[in-house]
Amino acid sequence: MNKNIKLYIGILVLIFILILISDNNKQKPIDWRPTFSVNDKIPFGLYVFDKEIGGIFKNEKIQRIADVTPYEFLDSKYVDDTLTNGTYSVKGTFINISPNNNIDDQSMKEIMYFVSHGNNAFLSMVDFPKPLLDTLKIAYASNFLKTKNNSVWFANKKLSTKKYKAIADIGDYFSKIDTLNTTVLGYQGEPGSKKNINFIKVPYKNGYFFLHTYPIAFTNYNLLKKDRYQYTEKALSYIPKGNILWYTKVQSEEGISSSPMRYILSQPALKWAWYMFLIGMLIFMIFNAKRKQRIVPILQPLPNLTVDFTKTIGNLYYQEGDHTNIIDKKIIYFLEKIRTEYLIDTTKLDDDFIKKLHLKTGKNEADIQELVFLINEHRNSYHDSIEADLIRINNAIEKILH
């Protein structure tokens, strides 16, 4: 390792250490992404809710669904029974808390079928699946309100008369419901202004849907902020007793990169150290682009001894004056080449052979006829060939092969 390389490495290590030292005293910025992940301790994660859900639903079995879609999970629990029109091996309430619609249409149909068999579904989302809204005759609208004076509260005064201050901008609400069948459970809005419905209970065949438009209520930030956890507890108190099937997979998790570089790029110190390393490597390559190696000796190719051997044998035949033997070997070579390259039978050299060779090689038919004539004449001749015969046949063969 030369001195220049050692210098480059020393500079990069020094810069890396300085970045780590400067970043160590720097306050890490708060991650405000609404991940709604049970593994995230950031403000809009569900880590606290995941730890406290057992205390909210006491003596109830809580099953988390994370690796499969709701359709795959519920369909695997369906028992086909012609006497009872089918049933599910699990009973209870399906729960989904998500900032967006993370349920595909097929899964939504399966959830509706699950509810129709006497179960329930609690969906706290900002955007609901269209098949569900159409079936329950619900319209959805937005009226964007800032959080300064915005609140959420319950319709049942016996449950709570308190208005809980919202911790995020809200605007989505139910603008149209089936008033004959739907029960309003909660509202949102600003004091003194029009209130909007954000929590409803809708019957569906033998079960119920609980639809809620304020999923922020279940996040870490809301649960740890003063007494706002009470709103979350009271909202969940509407869920009937029974098993809880919680779908914990949200769309935001699917967008997180699985690249090994994700963590490095997420940390400012490591990210800048990585960039400095790349820049240093680029500088190193620019200054060391000049070729530094010994001259590669030129290796002479090995002589083709086969060609020399063939020429020697040919000269021997020629010097001996054995033109007949040479002609025979050239004919054998020619016919062998025709058989292997063009797949033409050479047993009989007749008009059919001439036509096939003409079509496959594209050579002049008259030239082919002349060559066939010379070959047949040579084979039927009873006298030794002379040099002129060898030249004629050789020229005729060359016209066909080249």
Give me the residue spans of the domains in the chain: 1-30+256-292, 47-249, 306-401
> Which 8-state DSSP code applies to residue 228?
T
Q: Please give the single-letter amino acid code of residue 84.
A: T
Please say whether the beta carbons of 190 and 168 come within 8 A.
no
Mean predicted lDDT score pLDDT of the chain:
84
Please say whether the beta carbons of 19 and 273 come within 8 A.
yes
Place of tokens 């909210």: 56
SS3 call for 383: coil
Question: 38-59, pLDDT tens digit by residue?
Answer: 999 999 999 999 999 999 999 8
Is the confidence at residue 108, as pLDDT, over 80? yes
Question: With bands split at pLDDT 50, 70 and 90, how would you rate the model's confidence at 208?
Answer: very high
Burial of 346 (0-12, 13-18, 19+ CB in 10 A): middle
Question: With bands split at pLDDT 50, 70 and 90, how would you rate the model's confidence at 253?
Answer: very low
Report the distance separating Cα 299 and Cα 221, nearest Å: 75
Query: Cα separations (Å) of 148 from 190, 215, 232, 357?
Result: 9, 18, 20, 94
Query: DSSP strand E in 16-83: where?
Result: 62-65, 78-79
159-188: average pLDDT: 90
Dihedral through CA 365, CA 371, CA 373, CA 379, nearest 10?
Answer: -150
And the tokens for 254? Answer: 């699917």
Question: 114-126, pLDDT tens digit by residue?
Answer: 999 999 999 999 8
Question: With bands split at pLDDT 50, 70 and 90, how would you rate the model's confidence at 304?
Answer: low
Report the distance separating Cα 13 and Cα 139, nearest Å: 61
Query: Cα separations (Å) of 78 from 25, 71, 118, 385?
Result: 56, 10, 13, 95
Question: With bands split at pLDDT 50, 70 and 90, how would you rate the model's confidence at 320?
Answer: low
Is the confidence at residue 326, as pLDDT, over 60? yes
pLDDT value of position 252: 44
DSSP string, 151-218: EEEES-TTT--PPEEPSS-EEEEEEE--TTT-EEEEEEE-TTS--EEEEEEEEETTEEEEEES-GGGG
> Which 8-state DSSP code applies to residue 322?
-
Of residues 334 and 303, the one with the higher pLDDT is 334
Report the distance separating Cα 129 and Cα 247, nearest Å: 15
Question: 62-76, pLDDT tens digit by residue?
Answer: 999 988 999 999 999
**Rounded to the nearest 10 degrees, what angle do helices 351-361 and 365-380 cross at?**
140
pLDDT value of position 255: 45
Which residues, 6 or more positions from 56, have their beta carbon under 8 angstroms from its beta carbon? 232, 233, 236
Is the confidence at residue 33, as pLDDT, over 90? no
pLDDT value of position 281: 78
Please report, for the chain, how many H helices and E strands are present, in that order.
Answer: 15, 13
Is the confidence at residue 251, as pLDDT, over 60? no
Write phi, then psi, for 99 (nearest 5 degrees): -75, -20
Domain 47-249 belongs in CATH node 3.40.50: yes
Is the confidence at residue 5, as pLDDT, over 70? no
Please state which of the ranges 5-19, 151-165, 386-400 shows the lowest mean pLDDT: 5-19
